[in-house]
Structure 1
Amino acid sequence: MVLATSNMPWDLDEGLRRRLEKRIYIPLPDDEARRHMFTLNLRNVDVGDDVSIEELAAQAEGFSGSDIHLLCREACMEPMRRLIANKTALEIKQMKDEGRLPQAPKVSEDDFRKALESTAPSVNLDDVAKHEEWQRIYGAK
């Protein structure tokens, strides 16, 4: 059995495409899948009470699973960035060595808002349409 993936299946050699008998298009995650992805990505994160997974999932429409992971990582860095703002690397190291580096606060709705401003979906609507057309022509029925 061979399992293969491609972000650009239209670039596959015709001979290879013929040998890959089942061609399945996996679309961008829907709202339910995005909620699940946020839940998984944030399972070990101290998230503020003001953060709504449902709202995040709605705001991340058009995001891939990788985009959602990146968005969560970016939001989780915001509290730490605030803690070390205006400090030199030496000051941060001394604080850490002396046990004075405070624990980062919870990740807030504002942290996600800021992350959303700097994180864009990696897939555009033209790419989605192209994938759907390829699936219509070559995909498993």
Structure 2
Amino acid sequence: MWEQIIREAVRRQCDVLFVTADAKEDWWRKEQGFSRGPRPELTAELKARGGGQLFMLTPKGFLEVAAPILKFSLQEGSVEDIARVERIEAEETDDAPVSFEDLLDRIADLPLLHFTGSREVTAGLDAVAYGSSWVRMAWDAVRALRDFAEAVTAGRTG
């Protein structure tokens, strides 16, 4: 994709606004854990190959900037929905837990969820689960439960 962006920018002799939900560090310059624009190497490569400037936004950031300029209104909750999708997509690219022990550690970090089962029994599943697919399915269910708990807490459920 990056090569296509460069070729098109050079062909058109224009700046690039790249809107992506991909939060990996190979795209974004990170400062104090936050994405703060494109990595300097990407900007330099685009310029060196004859393109213009590189600007990057997340879909949420793009909507927030574009709405007043393009004079369209966002439905209440639209930006939050996009932020939630961005977070889910970012999590899908993150490493899933590799064991039930790891899964329990991650659950402990979720403020709205509390594990009430036996840690010893659950961690013991690592000895009988073949591969990580069971752990991954459990992690996906935990994330869905977390999202539901957040929606209930925010009053977004019927």
Q: TM-score, normalised by structure 1?
A: 0.28
Structure (1/2) with the larger strand percentage: 2
Q: When the two structures are superposed, what TM-score results if normalisation uses the length of structure 2?
A: 0.26
Higher relative contact order (CA 8 A, sep 6+): 1
